[in-house]
């Protein structure tokens, strides 16, 4: 429709997913001669490593989430769209949304991972996992509702079941969640109930492998067990969960079977790549691994499609040692930056050709002021490790706003041991297990 | 079962509702020779005057909510129960819960009020109101989803409807909500969109009476209109809403009928006392007013039942001037304290016999740093009124924790104009009104 000389159309980059990989790629493309569209189902970037704090009432969702628009509003070449990607037309170079098509010249798919119950999706009903804001609020609702129910329950066995919390999975998320629950029971809620002592609540951390934090050095695992036990958490490794139904968890311990009565069971055991990985691989004739991750080239491109990149939890890539890279934020961040650099320098002969991961170490936090860290050959534990953990995590919060607020909230709750965010929302009535219309025990009677 | 001399059973006070009235009564009874049980459906006290900040992404729910247990954990004579009260057995002196009975010697009913659509409950579907945390999150979801949808919408009329926000009701809640929306559109979201200018969003505030803030002095109303108009809000008084259906709002303006196309309609017009008011009145043979409030004696007791108190938004009481007292926090707080004093001094001959309200003035805030205040004969406006408003509101946040956090967040957002809490949760897909599978406009094309 324009008259005059035609200027070449700008190179269109579409990024699917506003997690660490997608967002860091978008930020690094801010000054490149391209136009960027970032599509996400949600309108915010979520700092998942702190989600367990939301689940246990220490932080609010907004403290660890940044509106994608706010983060990218200063980049004039970038547009954010909220939308659900359902498929890809690789020949036509279009991303197919639920309700529209989005054309691209270069595509970055960074759709991340979701919880996975190893072929037992029905366990999700009894044992919520911790991947989204909604998951965290559901866990928060269940945890604090369990304490509320215990306060009203007059049958001792039923009360015991309300006060038993089982965390399945001894990776960093499980360790952090169990530690926070132990701290809740032993510190935060200490004076809050009249019919039981919260310190008598039982928190169990179950791990199938022979030690918790299996990818960490053995020394870190042992230190984590020690720190957890100080918070009253029972750590049980080498234990396999064979059934979760209602408030019963069935374990296999060696040859023995054991049944736990627990009203609150939390799932921190499995992750699987977004279904978009399989869809993309099918369209390209590429392969996925057991975890649904797309097996990509050394430069993170989709086999046969040099214009399509896959990264983060959605991509299967290998480190220098030949092992596949873990699904953690630093991998996704470095991959996002690598891909952005390749795109910015495309055609210049200076684009990097092979992704190399720089491992900066592992960290897991236990309770209010203990953590374990393995940074290169350095091993830290206790308060020092906690300080490192806090510093690193705050550094990675995408917005400066959130960094300041979370630092302030933490400093505050560190001194007050408070968890003000322990709201039960939405309001769902508790179901008590005892007989009809019991007289609620009055205080002092 | 005990042997030895029987000690007299402690006097049991049951408080229904953890709002301002119930909570202040409970706190004042902390050192009285009674045992207190506070029952609420929710596990937190909510600072409703700031709920509009949650609805517009300025604060998180936890910033304006305090866990009732945390607030009362230091009072050894007090127990908190989460439960739903369904009826009262006044002869047997029992509160009937959904799933249990709770005996009392003295009862305080402070169950508050809920939104009310003047006989048109179906309007609630199209026009959510602002009374609970869930309400605020629903409004937040709708407001920010509307901007998201507008960014994707390619039909100009449909986009216009997404960018039209109607607030029904020009009381303090409506004024504050409309002011915050105006500020969002003109300041916070300024650089966030690529297909439209957020400053072109239309925010309308509709009031049926001939001026907004009808119970305030006329000068305050005029100043509020001025401040709202500076934020781009169209204030229309003397306008009656006759129908709300889907995204159409029908108005009656004098003899004329007018239809607005607005995807976001928010209800700030009506309140009605909790249904527990009518139930209680029926059991006692007492009367309720048009708003469902129980008409109580001068000492706030239920007629015929000197052992039952009704207060706050659930009670119809009159001020010195003969007008019924408004449903605001200061009335509930003073009534809670009055009742607690009567109970603590019961039988001593020193108990106060008649409730007197001390009116400390009215305040409403408009946007980021303007407000109107009428304190006795004093009239304030602009920044000074805003400072007073902020100071008073922070003072009334029940927990010191929240006071510090909210003050900090406000100071922060005051300087950064940011609203970090603008998360769309839960995730519900947007419905776009245009034709099927449109090509989403790519940036730079």
A193 inside 8 A of chain B by CB: yes
A10 inside 8 A of chain B by CB: yes
B333–chain A nearest CA distance, Å: 22
List, in sequence order, every beta strand (DSSP E) within A158-300.
Answer: 164-168, 202-206, 233-236, 239-245, 248-253, 256-261, 264-267, 271-273, 294-295
ipTM: 0.86
Residues 6+ apart with CB under 8 A from A403: A394, A395, A397
A113 or A374, greater pLDDT: A113
- Chain B, residues 219-248, CB within 8 A of chain A, namely none
B28 inside 8 A of chain A by CB: no
Average pLDDT over residues B384-389: 74
Question: In the predicted model, is pLDDT for residue B141 greater than 60?
Answer: yes
B439 inside 8 A of chain A by CB: yes
**Which residues of chain B does A445 touch, with a Cβ-Cβ cutoff of 8 Å?**
9
Report how far residue A286's alpha carbon sits from residue A278's, in angstroms, rounded to the nearest whole number: 9
B62 or A11, greater pLDDT: A11
Cβ–Cβ < 8 Å for A207, A169: yes
Question: In the predicted model, is pLDDT for residue A426 greater than 80?
Answer: no
Retrieve residue B38's tokens: 């506070």
**Which residues of chain A does B100 touch, with a Cβ-Cβ cutoff of 8 Å?**
152, 432, 437-440
A51 inside 8 A of chain B by CB: no
Question: In the predicted model, is pLDDT for residue A33 greater than 80?
Answer: yes
pLDDT tens for A46-59 read 988 889 989 999 88
Question: In the predicted model, is pLDDT for residue B112 greater than 50?
Answer: yes
- Chain A, residues 314-343, CB within 8 A of chain B, namely none
Q: Give the closest residue to A143 by CA, choosing from A176, A166, A124, A120.
A: A166
- Alpha-carbon dihedral angle through residues B191, B192, B198, B203, given to the nearest 10 degrees: -120
Average pLDDT over residues A312-336: 90
Residues 6+ apart with CB under 8 A from B121: none
A405 inside 8 A of chain B by CB: yes
pLDDT band of residue A440 (cuts 50, 70, 90) is low
Percent of chain B having pLDDT more than 70? 88
Q: What is the pLDDT of residue A410?
A: 64
Average pLDDT over residues A159-177: 95
Q: Give the closest residue to B230 by CA, choosing from B190, B178, B267.
A: B178
B353 inside 8 A of chain A by CB: no
Domain boundaries, chain A: 11-41+83-115+272-344, 123-269+361-416
pLDDT tens for A248-270 read 999 999 899 999 999 999 999 98
Q: What is the pLDDT of residue B209?
A: 95
Mutate to test the interface with A, among B436, B442, B445 (most CBs of A within 10 A): B442
Which residues face A251 on adjacent strands? A241, A258
Average pLDDT over residues B65-85: 92
β-sheet with A100-103: strand ranges across: A85-89, A94-97, A100-103
CB contact under 8 A, A442 and B35: yes
Cβ–Cβ < 8 Å for A274, A111: yes
Mean pLDDT of chain B: 87
Would you call A431 exposed, middle or buried from its count of C-beta atoms within 10 A (0-12, 13-18, 19+)? Answer: exposed
**Which residues of chain A does B80 touch, with a Cβ-Cβ cutoff of 8 Å?**
151, 192
Question: In the predicted model, is pLDDT for residue A371 greater than 80?
Answer: no
CATH of B11-41+83-115+272-344, one of 3.30.750.24, 3.50.50.60, 3.20.20.70, 3.30.1360.120: 3.50.50.60
**Which residues of chain A does B61 touch, with a Cβ-Cβ cutoff of 8 Å?**
60, 423, 425
From the list B12, B191, B405, the residue facing A409 with the nearest CB is B405
Report the range of poorest mean pLDDT among A232-236, A334-338, B126-130, B362-366. B362-366
A328 or B241, greater pLDDT: B241
Q: Which of B153, B176, B183, B223 is catalytic?
A: B176
**Which residues of chain A does B69 touch, with a Cβ-Cβ cutoff of 8 Å?**
189, 192-193
Cβ–Cβ < 8 Å for A424, B61: no
With CA atoms as reference, the chain B residue closest to A103 would be B442
B234 flagged as catalytic:
no
pLDDT band of residue B375 (cuts 50, 70, 90) is confident
Question: In the predicted model, is pLDDT for residue B15 greater than 90?
Answer: yes
Question: In the predicted model, is pLDDT for residue B342 greater than 70?
Answer: yes
Report how far residue B441's alpha carbon sits from residue A103's, in angstroms, rounded to the nearest whole number: 9
Rg of chain B on CA atoms, in Å: 24
Retrieve residue B15's tokens: 């408080």
CB contact under 8 A, B440 and A35: no
A54–chain B nearest CA distance, Å: 11
CB contact under 8 A, A82 and B440: no
3-class SS string, B325-391: CCCCHHHHHHHHHHHHHHHHCCCCCCCCCCCCCCCCCEEEEECCCEEEEEECCEEEEHHHHHHHHHH
Average pLDDT over residues B173-178: 94
**CATH architecture assignment, domain A123-269+361-416:** 3-Layer(bba) Sandwich (3.50)
Question: In the predicted model, is pLDDT for residue B416 greater than 60?
Answer: no
Q: Which of A138, A153, A176, A207 is catalytic?
A: A176
With CA atoms as reference, the chain A residue closest to B66 would be A420
CB contact under 8 A, B425 and A134: yes
CB contact under 8 A, A152 and B83: yes
Q: What is the pLDDT of residue A393?
A: 72
Q: What is the pLDDT of residue B433?
A: 42
For B192-322, where are the alpha helices, taking DSSP H only?
218-230, 275-284
Question: In the predicted model, is pLDDT for residue A2 greater than 70?
Answer: no
Report how far residue A291's alpha carbon sits from residue B243's, in angstroms, rounded to the nearest whole number: 53
Question: In the predicted model, is pLDDT for residue A126 greater than 70?
Answer: yes
- Chain A, residues 67-106, CB within 8 A of chain B, namely 67, 69-70, 73-74, 77-84, 97-103
Report how far residue A257's alpha carbon sits from residue A423's, in angstroms, rounded to the nearest whole number: 37
Comparing A11-41+83-115+272-344 with A123-269+361-416, is the CATH topology the same? yes
Q: What is the pLDDT of residue B441?
A: 53
First to last CA, chain B: 85
pLDDT band of residue B404 (cuts 50, 70, 90) is low
Report whether CATH 3.50.50.100 matches the domain B123-269. Answer: yes
**Which residues of chain A does B409 touch, with a Cβ-Cβ cutoff of 8 Å?**
405
Mean pLDDT of chain A: 87
B210 inside 8 A of chain A by CB: no
A290 inside 8 A of chain B by CB: no
Q: What is the pLDDT of residue B409?
A: 64
Q: What is the pLDDT of residue A60?
A: 86
State the maximum Cα–Cα separation within chain A, in Å, rounded to a whole number.
91
Q: Give the closest residue to B368 by CA, choosing from B323, B411, B397.
A: B411
């Amino acid at each position: 429709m324009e008259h005059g000389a035609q200027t070449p159309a700008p190179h269109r980059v579409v990024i699917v997913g506003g997690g660490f990989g997608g967002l860091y790629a978008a930020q690094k493309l801010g000054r490149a001669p391209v136009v960027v569209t970032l599509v996400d189902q949600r309108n915010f970037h979520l700092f998942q490593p702190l989600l367990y704090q939301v689940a246990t009432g220490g932080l609010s969702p907004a403290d660890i989430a940044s509106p994608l628009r706010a983060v990218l509003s200063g980049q004039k070449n970038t547009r954010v769209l909220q939308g659900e990607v359902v498929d890809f037309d690789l020949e036509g170079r279009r991303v197919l949304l639920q309700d529209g098509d989005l054309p691209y010249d270069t595509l970055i798919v960074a759709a991340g991972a979701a919880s996975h119950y190893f072929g037992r999706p029905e366990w999700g009903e009894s044992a919520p996992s911790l991947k989204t804001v909604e998951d965290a609020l559901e866990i928060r609702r269940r945890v604090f509702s369990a304490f509320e129910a215990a306060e009203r329950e007059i049958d001792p066995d039923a009360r015991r079941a309300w006060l038993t919390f089982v965390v399945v999975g001894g990776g960093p998320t499980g360790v952090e969640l169990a530690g926070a629950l132990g701290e809740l029971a032993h510190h935060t809620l200490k004076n809050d109930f009249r019919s039981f002592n919260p310190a008598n609540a039982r928190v169990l951390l179950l791990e199938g492998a022979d030690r918790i934090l299996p990818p960490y050095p053995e020394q870190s695992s042992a230190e984590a067990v020690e720190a957890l036990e100080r918070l009253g958490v029972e750590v049980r490794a080498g234990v396999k969960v064979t059934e979760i139904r209602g408030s019963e968890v069935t374990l296999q311990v060696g040859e023995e079977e054991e049944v736990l009565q627990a009203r609150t069971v939390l799932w921190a055991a499995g992750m699987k790549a977004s279904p978009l990985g399989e869809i993309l691989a099918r369209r390209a004739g590429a392969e996925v691994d057991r975890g649904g991750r797309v097996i990509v080239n050394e430069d993170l491109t989709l086999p046969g499609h040099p214009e399509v990149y896959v990264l983060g939890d959605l991509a299967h890539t290998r480190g220098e040692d030949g092992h596949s890279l873990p699904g953690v934020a630093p991998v996704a961040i470095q991959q996002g930056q690598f891909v952005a650099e390749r795109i910015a320098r495309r055609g210049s002969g200076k684009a990097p050709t092979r992704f190399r991961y720089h491992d900066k170490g592992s960290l897991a936090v236990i309770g209010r002021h203990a953590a374990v860290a393995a940074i290169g050959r350095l091993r830290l534990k206790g308060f020092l490790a906690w300080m490192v953990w806090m510093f690193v995590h705050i550094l990675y919060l995408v917005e400066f706003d959130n960094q300041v607020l979370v630092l302030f909230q933490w400093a505050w709750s560190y001194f007050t041991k408070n968890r003000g965010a322990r709201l039960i929302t939405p309001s769902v009535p508790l179901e008590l297990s005892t007989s009809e219309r019991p007289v609620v025990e009055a205080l002092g009677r």
